[in-house]
Structures are given as structure tokens and as C-alpha cells.
Amino acid sequence: MPNPADQRPDPDTLLAHVQQAERHARRGNLRVFFGAAPGVGKSFAMLGAARELKAENVDVVVGYVELHGRAETEALLAGLEILPPLSLEHRGVTLAEFDLDACLARAPKVVIVDELAHTNHPGARHVKRWMDVEELLDAGIDVYTTVNVQHIESLNDIVAQITGVHVRETVPDKVFDNADEVELIDLPPDELLVRLREGKVYVDEKVRHALNSFFRKGNLIALRQLALRATADRVDAAMREYRQDHSIRDTWAAGERILVCVGPDPLSERLVRAARRMATALHAEWLAVYVETPYLVRLSREARDRVLQNLKLAESLGAQTENLSGESVAAELIDFARTHNISKIVVGKPSRPRWRDRLRPSLVDEIARNSGDIDVYVISGEPGAPTIRPPRELHRSSQWPAYLKSVGVVVAITALCALLFKRIELSNLVMLYLLGIVLVAVRLGRGPSVLAAILSVTAFDFLFVPPLDSFAVSDAQYLITFGVMIATGLIISSLAARGKHQARVAQQRERRTGELYALSRELSRRLDLPEINAILVRHVTAMIDGQAAVLLPDAEGHLLDPTHFCTRGTPGKSEMRYPVPGNDLGIAQWAYDHRQTSGHGTDTLASADAIYFPLNALRRCIGVLGFRPKDPRQLSIPEQMHLLESFVNQAAIAMERVQLAHAAQTADTQIASEQLRSTLLASISHDFRTPLASIIGSTSTLLDDASNNLEPSRRRELLRSTLDESQRLHRLVGNLLDLTRLTSGPVDMKREWAAIDEIIGAVLGRLRDAAAKRDIRLQIPDDLPLVRCDEVMIEQVLFNLIENAIKHTPPESPIRITVKAWPAVMEVSVVDSGPGLPPGEEELVFDKFHRGRREAAQSGFGLGLTICKTIIDAHGGQISARNLPEGGAEFRFSLPLDPTQPTA
């Protein structure tokens, strides 16, 4: 009913419209050539339209057209670009199919794809052709296609009712409804029949008989009417949309929501279609639910499959679906309806004898009584439609031991009663029997309890009730005893069954919550990506037996072979390489690219035996989880699928968190290295300027001295200082270069057998002038082992350490260089007897830009020790500095010794 407050368009609806318009701008247009029956000339009209486009120089290609040998249609193809069909091998037969990938690669403006309702051959990417078309539209390609009215999902059953021919190939209504243009190709039934007689309509020999009944005039009239009405509905909808877009006030239904209850019976399919038609008519949202009760739990697998099919059908028709479980269908439905703001409930009225209605109110009655302000629509079932009952044989076979046990219990009680007979009252014996029945009812269920009750009554009557050893009953009051016994058994057993079911449901729910909790707890720790992958595959395979793997993309978004794969809790071995079939990677890639589940049981490449879940995080898809269950039926259980999806979502969020953390860390590092760079620049410019000032000063003095006024000794002094300062600059540049080389990426080392004593000798040779004046004491054993190291780098370390010792200590103080070989390491220490390091800064000296003393006369560059540390670290050794108690500083480094010394 129109609500006065609802005169303005709902903002959400408007937003949805804007979004839809945006999507439309990017999406291709779908133009449907719609007909009432085969042979009305849809393909002909479509190709005619294509020719017109071609004449207007529009880039149009023919993706796929069924010619059925019609010459006039074939003639229209002349001059049009035709995509070669895809050849698919299936069981030795080569089948032609529309080549989706070729078409996407060709990317025309418009593509002609005949027969929208066509079911693709196995091996094609999608199950149905309309899915191919959706992908084309998503890619921004306009599509021209054809559909007959009997292929429209929601009209499917009406057509079947009219014609008696059930068409399996259907197109979801949403595809038809969302088509940008629907062109009705109308042909009066008489003309169609003439065409048919002239052989202008393609008819497969195998179905000729069926089609003959299909092409009856009465049918054709009805079909034409349906097609006309569907088209009119569309025009109507377009008009409404126009009004809405232009804010033309109109009465419109305020937020109707329709709920349909489905079950395993065939009636449910009709219910779903009826609900869909009602929802369309009312422009309402609709939901389909299945309520699992203890009674329905016992359904056969086929019946459960039918439930799933019905839910799937509802989903394909645009419904939200939900699985509920509870004691009473009516109570659960009403409860759900209230929490979900349902305005109308659609239920079926199963045909059943009236006496049963008297005994227990039917579902319809129960719902009607409790629905309150919710409207209830009852759709009647077809007379004689079979109702589904839980199979009995299954239970019987499995319950034989239970019946035997129940007999045993009665025998035991009878034996006990025989002992007590005459000593206690008969009514107390009855109590013993009753106890037995209660036990049987609780433990063994209804059937055994009834059996126990009958046996108990029989035994009690025969053995203990006078007249003894006969079934005759002298006292009518024992009939009450029998009645009570049987009733007790029935009530208790049904209570017990109910309790068991609830326990089972609770257990399942608990298991699910528990598993989710376990997963989220594991994922909440600080983890890296491989760990999350490992956790995910472990949990998935622990829940459903099978193989799971996480596939991650490379930098270009191509998925790589799995990094983690696992079969039931144990990390996979190499022979279980996953995925095995090569094209599985393609299916996974599709899931990644489209952020949709693909593979087994989905709409995309359903023939695969594994399913691929995209790891969709908030901002992007992180990778794909591939899962190949041992029993593929596990995947059709909605509960399992929901749980799997929850797992995947949790893991995806955890992965995104890790990636974001990583990105943040990288940013931090960048900031730190920026800071480092500016410190470095500041430090270097100072270190460069000092020697440069002295060089420029000295040389300019010499140049200015044109008249040779300077003393020769003074000139030499200036020249000497120029040389010294230049060498200082040289060392500084060398250190800078080394530092850059060592800290920008992995250290490129050339490790060879080297002798430390020899390197020390070479360093002292290089430092000859400075070293010659100093008292340098060496303690080096004669038989030092060789070390595997980069000789040039270790020389650099020793040079820096020894030069530091010379520079930072008084000229007369001694310097000691000691080398010791331990079993696993070679240790070198350089000890001076200078002022030592500032207390507390012993370890800081290895930091970049640290100077022993600020403004010291000797510029320390700060880089030398950092270089030493980098080099020693790269060699797997250790370097440290400390002040000695007797004064002076010790720099000590160690290098690992190779246990296998070379022989000469």
C-alpha cells in the first residue's frame, strides 16, 4: 500500500540506480531477439541487424550461429566476420562451441551469439552460454543473442504445463530482465505452421515426435501470448524505471519482502517459481529458506539433493537463500520472517488426508495461525504428486541390533519379575516393565520401544496376570496398563529423538564455531604469509578430507604453482604435487581475476574436480585457495561451503593484514634510510670540506707566489700538506665507496683460502710511514691455519683497525696485534694504550657516523668501523670493542675457521 511518507524515491534505491547506470556505462549492451517458438525468424532478424551495423561500419563479428542448414539465414552471413568455433573433445567426439577467449581477445564492438539458453559442452569455461555472454558484457562488448520464451526460467513451468514438453535449457530471468533491448520477433501461429510444413524450421529427428505435439496451434497461440506478455512486462518495467529515474511520483510498494519455504518435494519447484513471479510483480526482494527438522534429517541423499537443487533454482532466480534448522518448520519460519522483515510468506499445500489435519495441524494452518500481520500465500500441490517421506528400509536394516536389544531387555525384566512374582504386588511388576520400556525408548528409539511395549504387555499378561499362562484378561483395568506402556514408549522415544537431534545440531554449530575460533586464534598471532597459507590448508583439510593448496600471484598477477599444499593435516609430499591437471591453474586464475569462486560445483568450469576460492580481502584479491575434496559431494552441503568460505575470508583478511604491515614496515625503513642519507650527507660534507680547504689554501698560496718569496722549506711544507690532505680525501672516498658497495644489497664476496699473518704484514706495509714510527708488537703463531675469506675485505678491516689505533693514540704508546686460533674461530685483536673509548659507547662505535670524540683533531669519518662490522658480519664472524681495565681500547674480531684445512 502506498505510504504517504514514501512519496519521495528512497535514497538507497536512487543510489542503486546511479550505480547501475555507472555499471552500464562500462558494461556492454545486451540485445535479445525474443521469440515464442523456434522458427519465428530470430536468427534471421539478428543477422539482419548485424548486417545493418556492418553497413554503418560498426565492428561486428559473428561469435556463434546455429544455421540448421537454412539457406536464407546462411546467405545473411556472407560478408560478416565469423569467429572460428572452439573444438572440444568429449568422449572421442569433437564438439563445436562458442570460443569465449577468442572473442574476448578479438574484442569487437558487437558480437553475435545465437541461442542464449544453450548449455555448453563439458570442457568449456562456463556451464551455460548466458554466462559466456555475461563475461562478454562485463568486458564491455555488446552482444546480440536469441531466446525463446520457453527458456525463460520463471516461465519454464508454465510452458511445460501448456505444451507438456519440459525444457531443460533455461536462462535466469535476471539476464533477460537486465537486457538493454528486447526485440520481439513475432510471427502469427498460422504462418509459423506454414513455415514448419515447408521445412523452414529446423527439427532434430530425435525429438520430432515431441515437437510435433509442441507445434500444435493451441500451444503456439499460448506461447505467443506468453512472449508478448513478457515483452510487455519489460516495457512496463522500463516505463516504471523511467518514472523513477525522473522522480515521477507513483504509487509503489513499500519494501515488500517475500519468503518462500522449500522442501524436497517437487511442489517446491513450483513454489519457487510462483514466489519469483510474485516478487517480480511486486518489485519485492525475496528469500528462499529450507528448514531442517529431525524428521527431515532422515531424508535420503536424493531428497537432500533435491532440496539443494530447489535452493539453487531460487538463487538463480534472484532469491537470497538460507538454511535453518529447528524443531518445527512453522515456528522457525515465523521466527525468521519476523527477524527479516518479511511481509509475505509463500508455502505449499501438500495434499494429505483430512484425518491427519484433525490429528495434527498442517504446516499451513500453523503458519497461518502464528503469522500475525504477515500475509500467507498457499500454493496448492498437483493432485497425486508424490510426497516425499523418509525411507524406511534404511533404518530398518540398521536398527536390527536395536530390536534384538529391546527383546533382550524385556526377557531380562521378565526373568527378574519371575523371581519377584508372588513376593511383590503386580502393579510394581508393571513398574519394572515400564522402566525397561523407558530405557529402550531413550537408548534405542521409537520402533524398539514399541516392540518392547508390546512384548512387555504380552509377557506380563501371559505370565503374571491371572489367569496365568493365557492371554485372557480378567480385569479390564490391565488394558489401561497396556495403553500406558505403549504411550510411554512412544512419548519417551520421540522426546529422546528430538533431544538427540538438537544435540546434533548444537554439536554441529559448536564444531563450526569451534573450528572458526581455532582458525582465528591461530591467525591472530604475528605471522608471515607462508604461515597463514599453511594454517589455512591445514584447517581446510582437517574439516573436509582432501587436498588443499594456496596459489599466490606473481608481480604481474599470474598465479604461480602452490606454495603450500596439504592432505589431511600432513604437509604434502612432492609426489602429491598439486594441482595435478594443468588447466586447473587456468581455473584458479579465473577465480583470481574475477574474484569469484570457480571450479567444481560452481557456475564456472564446473567439470573440474577441485574448487577455487578467491582470497578476497578488502582491497584486492590476495590469491586463491584450491581444494579438491576426496568426496566432491561434501561441497554441495551448504553448511560446509559456508564454513569453507568463512575460513577463506578469515585467512584473506589475515593475509591482507600481513601485507599491510609489511608495506608499513617498508615505508618505515625508507624513512629511516632517508634520515640516514641526510645524516650521511651532513657528515660527509664536513669531512670533505676540511681537507679541501687546506688543499685549496696551500696550492693557491703556491700559485700566488709568483716572485718566489716563500722559503723553500715553507714551499715543501705546503706541498706536503696538499699531498697528505689529498690522501685523506682518497681514504674518505674509498670508505664511502666501500660502504655503498657493502650496504646496498648482498655483499659480493670472493672467498678464498687466505693467511691472516700475511694480510697483517701487507697492511703494515701499506701503512709503512705511519707504522714505522710506532711500537707495534705482533703476537702471531707460526702455524696459523688458513681462513676462507675475502682477502681484500679483511685487509680493509685490519687496515681500518690498525690505522685507528695509530691515529687515536699518543705516538709513543705501544700497539699490540694478537692472533689466536681456536678450534672453531680465528681471533684477531688490536689493542692500543690510548685514552680508550668513551664509557658506554663501546658498541656504538660500529654505528654509522659515530665519532669517538666530537671536534677531535683527527677526523674519524665514522665510516671505517661500520665497514669493518659489515664485512665481519658478512663473513659470519663477530666484532666488538671494549675498554681495557689497564687503559686503552681493544678491538677484537673473529672469523669462523673451516674444519677442513687445505693440504699443500
Rounded CA separation 800/779 (Å): 19
CB of 727 to other proteins, least distance (A): 8
Which residue's CB is nearer to other proteins, number 461 or number 757?
757
Which residue's CB is nearer to other proteins, number 115 or number 738?
738
Strand order in the sheet with 344-349: 320-325, 285-292, 257-261, 344-349, 375-380
Which residue's CB is nearer to other proteins, number 243 or number 751?
751
Instruction: Kindly identify the residues of this chain, within the stretch 792-811, that bind other proteins according to CB under 8 A.
Output: 792, 795
Strand order in the sheet with 815-821: 776-779, 815-821, 825-832, 889-896, 878-883
Rounded CA separation 453/812 (Å): 115
Which residue's CB is nearer to other proteins, number 419 or number 904?
904
Which residue's CB is nearer to other proteins, number 43 or number 722?
722
Rounded CA separation 742/473 (Å): 108
CB of 623 to other proteins, least distance (A): 43
The secondary structure of residue 754, as a DSSP letter, is: E
Instruction: Kindly identify the residues of this chain, within the stretch 555-574, that bind other proteins according to CB under 8 A.
Output: none
Which residue's CB is nearer to other proteins, number 201 or number 801?
801
CB of 791 to other proteins, least distance (A): 5
Judging by DSSP bridges, how do beta strands 598-599 and 60-64 pair with one another?
unpaired
Which residue's CB is nearer to other proteins, number 490 or number 749?
749
The burial of 362, by beta-carbon neighbours within 10 Å (0-12 exposed, 13-18 middle, 19 or more buried), is given as middle
Angle at which helices 426-444 and 477-523 cross, to 10°: 30
The three-state DSSP-derived secondary structure of 135-162 is HHHHCCCEEEEEEEHHHEHHHHHHHHHH
CB of 572 to other proteins, least distance (A): 42
CB of 803 to other proteins, least distance (A): 15
> From residue 505 to residue 544, what is the string marking binding to other proteins with x (rule CB under 8 A)?
----------------------------------------
> From residue 708 to residue 747, what is the string marking binding to other proteins with x (rule CB under 8 A)?
------------------xx--x---x--xx--x------
Is residue 392 helix, strand or coil? Answer: coil
CB of 850 to other proteins, least distance (A): 24
Which residue's CB is nearer to other proteins, number 482 or number 799?
799
Q: Does 253 sit near other proteins (CB under 8 A)? A: no
* The dihedral sign for the CA sequence 835, 840, 845, 849: negative
Which residue's CB is nearer to other proteins, number 209 or number 750?
750
Using the rule CB under 8 A, which residue among 97, 132, 584, 791 binds other proteins? 791
Rounded CA separation 293/494 (Å): 13
User: CB within 8 A of 387, min separation 6: which ones?
Assistant: 265, 350, 351, 352
- The b-or-e profile of 665-690 (16+ CB within 10 A means b, else e) is eeeeeeeeeeeeeeebeebbeebeee
CB of 741 to other proteins, least distance (A): 7
Of 783, 872, 765, 774, nearest in space to 829 by CA: 872
Of 627, 651, 624, nearest in space to 559 by CA: 624
Which residue's CB is nearer to other proteins, number 474 or number 727?
727
CB of 686 to other proteins, least distance (A): 22
**Residues 566/578, Cβ–Cβ less than 8 Å:** no
Cell numbers standing for residue 276: 519469483
Query: Cα dihedral angle (362, 363, 368, 369), rounded to 10 degrees?
Result: 70
CB of 883 to other proteins, least distance (A): 27
Which residue's CB is nearer to other proteins, number 397 or number 900?
900
Judging by DSSP bridges, how do beta strands 546-551 and 621-629 pair with one another?
antiparallel
Which residue's CB is nearer to other proteins, number 385 or number 729?
729
CB of 746 to other proteins, least distance (A): 16
Rounded CA separation 415/459 (Å): 10
Of 153, 170, 142, 160, nearest in space to 230 by CA: 153
Q: Count of residues for the chain?
A: 904
* The dihedral sign for the CA sequence 267, 273, 276, 277: negative
Which residue's CB is nearer to other proteins, number 92 or number 765?
765
What stretches of 323-445 show up as alpha helix (H) in DSSP? 329-339, 354-359, 363-370, 393-420, 426-444
774 to 56, 325, 763, 815, 892: CA distances (angstroms): 96, 93, 14, 8, 20
Instruction: Give the containing element (helix H, strand E) for 658.
Output: helix 638-704
Which residue's CB is nearer to other proteins, number 377 or number 753?
753
Which residue's CB is nearer to other proteins, number 386 or number 761?
761
CB of 796 to other proteins, least distance (A): 9
CB of 748 to other proteins, least distance (A): 10
Tell me how many residues contact other proteins (CB under 8 A).
Answer: 29
**Residues 280/173, Cβ–Cβ less than 8 Å:** yes
CB of 697 to other proteins, least distance (A): 20
Which residue's CB is nearer to other proteins, number 661 or number 733?
733
Instruction: Kindly identify the residues of this chain, within the stretch 746-765, that bind other proteins according to CB under 8 A.
Output: 750, 752-755, 757-762, 764-765
CB of 682 to other proteins, least distance (A): 25
The secondary structure of residue 767, as a DSSP letter, is: T
Which residue's CB is nearer to other proteins, number 599 or number 691?
691
Instruction: Kindly identify the residues of this chain, within the stretch 770-789, that bind other proteins according to CB under 8 A.
Output: 778, 780, 782, 786
- The partner residues of 733 in beta bridges, in order of sequence, read none
CB of 695 to other proteins, least distance (A): 13
CB of 769 to other proteins, least distance (A): 12
The secondary structure of residue 780, as a DSSP letter, is: -
Residue type, 419: L
CB of 758 to other proteins, least distance (A): 5
What stretches of 744-862 show up as alpha helix (H) in DSSP? 756-766, 768-772, 791-807
> Given the C-alpha cell 498437483, which residue does it identify?
382
CB of 683 to other proteins, least distance (A): 21
Q: How far apart are the first and last CA of the chain?
A: 104
Which residue's CB is nearer to other proteins, number 463 or number 819?
819
Binding site residues, other proteins, CB under 8 A? 726-727, 730, 734, 737-738, 741, 750, 752-755, 757-762, 764-765, 778, 780, 782, 786, 791-792, 795, 902, 904
